[in-house]
Amino acid sequence: MLDLEFSSEYYYIKRSTIVEKIRFDNRTFYAKFERIDEPLTPLIVEQHLHREYTIAVPLLEENKTNYLVIEYNGEAYERFYHLVKHLLKTLQITHYHIYEGKNIERLQLFIEVDKLTLEEADEQLATLSSALKERMTKNWKCLPSSTLPIEYNIVTLPYKRID
């Protein structure tokens, strides 16, 4: 599936209404993604790619991740694309994939890592994000994040590879 591997016993499906209220770190989150306690199947992925459903997968398994994700959403997506490719080349990061999200203005950068803890992922993402902020206005989010509950450390599956 799109050169990405997710091994989880569950996935999330987006609903049109709030399915769960989550209290975390003195904040309240309202989740529209419902957890489905079944492995992700090729049929579910196909339905996502045909936009029948919006499917998300967890980024953390036992507090470790195999991907650092930066999701950009804005009009300067072409500039972000070229800037992030240059930054990754400068940092000698070669194992990454860039995808189009639900529309052309939404880019998803997946950087392959080897079982980083949430704290290690936070550190690396903070470094990348601050390097990007030196060049353009911040219109992205970084995942996984220790400032979010586990149910929000998920990423929607991308639609099309662009790199």
Binned at pLDDT 50, 70 and 90, residue 7 comes out as confident
Q: Does some domain include residue 57?
A: yes
Q: Domain with 145 in it: what CATH number?
A: 3.90.920.20
Q: Does some domain include residue 6?
A: no
Cis peptide before 39 (omega within 30 of 0): no
Q: How many domains does the structure of the chain reveal?
A: 1
Radius of gyration of the chain (CA): 15
Reply yes or no on whether the pLDDT at 112 is more than 90.
yes
Q: Does some domain include residue 138?
A: yes
The CA angle 22-23-26, to the nearest 5 degrees, is 150
pTM of this structure: 0.93
Q: Does some domain include residue 133?
A: yes
Run of H or E including 148: none
Q: Does some domain include residue 5?
A: no
Residue 134's domain comprises: 11-161
Residue-wise pLDDT for 41-72, tens only, equals 999 999 999 999 999 999 999 999 999 999 99
Average pLDDT over all residues of the chain: 94
Q: Does some domain include residue 44?
A: yes
Q: Does some domain include residue 47?
A: yes
